[in-house]
Amino acid sequence: MLPGVEIHNEMLTGSSGSGDQGYVYAVAYGNVAFLRGSIPAGGAFSIKGAIPDPALLCAQMFERYLKKQGVRVIGAATTVRKIRAEGGAVPTEGQSLHTHESKRLRELLRRMNHKSVNLLAEAILRRAGGGSTKGGWKPRKRYFKSIRFLPVALSCMTARACRAAIWTHLIKWSIS
Co-location of 109 and 166 in the same domain: yes
Co-location of 110 and 165 in the same domain: yes
- Is residue 12 domain-resident? yes
- Is residue 96 domain-resident? no
- What pLDDT is attached to residue 42? 78
Q: Which of 74-83, 121-130, 153-162 is predicted with the least confidence, judged by mean pLDDT?
A: 153-162
Counting the structural domains of the chain, the total is: 3
Residue 151: what residue type? P
- Is residue 91 domain-resident? no
- Is residue 156 domain-resident? yes
Co-location of 71 and 110 in the same domain: no
Co-location of 153 and 121 in the same domain: yes
- Is residue 151 domain-resident? yes
Compute the distance between CA of residue 106 and CA of residue 126 in angstroms, rounded to an integer: 17
Which pLDDT band, with edges at 50, 70 and 90, does 88 fall under?
Answer: very high
Which pLDDT band, with edges at 50, 70 and 90, does 175 fall under?
Answer: low
Compute the distance between CA of residue 48 and CA of residue 30 in angstroms, rounded to an integer: 18
Q: Which of 9-13, 26-30, 127-131 is predicted with the least confidence, judged by mean pLDDT?
A: 127-131
Q: What is the pLDDT of residues 19-69, one digit of tens each?
A: 778 888 888 888 898 989 888 887 777 787 878 888 899 999 999 999 999
Co-location of 23 and 34 in the same domain: yes
Are the C-beta atoms of residues 36 and 22 closer than 8 Å to each other?
Answer: yes
Average pLDDT in the 94-119 region?
A: 81
**Between 86 and 172, the higher pLDDT residue:** 86
Q: 42 lies in which domain range? A: 1-51
Co-location of 115 and 170 in the same domain: yes
Co-location of 47 and 64 in the same domain: no
Co-location of 32 and 64 in the same domain: no
- Is residue 94 domain-resident? no
Rg (CA), the chain: 20
